[in-house]
């Protein structure tokens, strides 16, 4: 956001250009959606209700949202990013200490979600 406010093109901050504004709006909407999905899964868990599907959906959506923010979107010499340079978020791997159904790659998250939807 700071970069979009400070970097100028054609005499105005790039954030004021319609296409950059749309990209920022899409990113902000996706980040808020990921946050809300995570809160929903956490609320279900905290209240003792089934949460596997919602947790997997939140993890998948958040990882893909983070990736979308860093894929080649350029405004001048720097990329508009949601995550650190060179990091690919959706390549989530299961930790050796935990083998829960809500951990794994994006493809595994999709399998978990499909299984839960078909129940």
Question: Would you call 103 a catalytic residue per the annotation?
Answer: yes
Pair type for strands 78-79 and 74-75:
antiparallel
Eight-class DSSP state of 47: T
Q: Are 27 and 81 in contact (CB under 8 A)?
A: no
78-79 vs 8-9, strand pairing mode: unpaired
d(CA 94, CA 58): 16
Q: State whether residue 79 is helix, strand or coil.
A: strand
Question: Which residues lie across from 12 on neighbouring strands?
Answer: 9
For the record, the structure tokens of 100 come out as 């829960």
Q: Which of 64, 68, 103, 116 is catalytic?
A: 103
Active site residues: 103
């Amino acid at each position: 956001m700071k970069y979009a406010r400070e970097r100028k093109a054609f005499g105005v901050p790039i954030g004021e250009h319609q296409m950059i504004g749309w990209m920022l709006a899409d990113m902000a909407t996706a980040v808020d959606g990921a946050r809300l999905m995570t809160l929903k899964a956490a609320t279900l868990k905290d209240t003792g209700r089934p949460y596997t599907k919602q947790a997997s959906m939140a993890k998948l959506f958040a990882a893909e949202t983070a990736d979308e923010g860093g894929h080649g979107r350029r405004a001048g010499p720097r990329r508009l990013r949601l995550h650190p340079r060179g990091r690919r978020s959706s390549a989530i791997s299961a930790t050796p200490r935990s083998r829960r159904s809500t951990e794994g790659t994006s493809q595994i998250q999709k399998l978990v979600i499909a299984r839960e939807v078909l129940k």
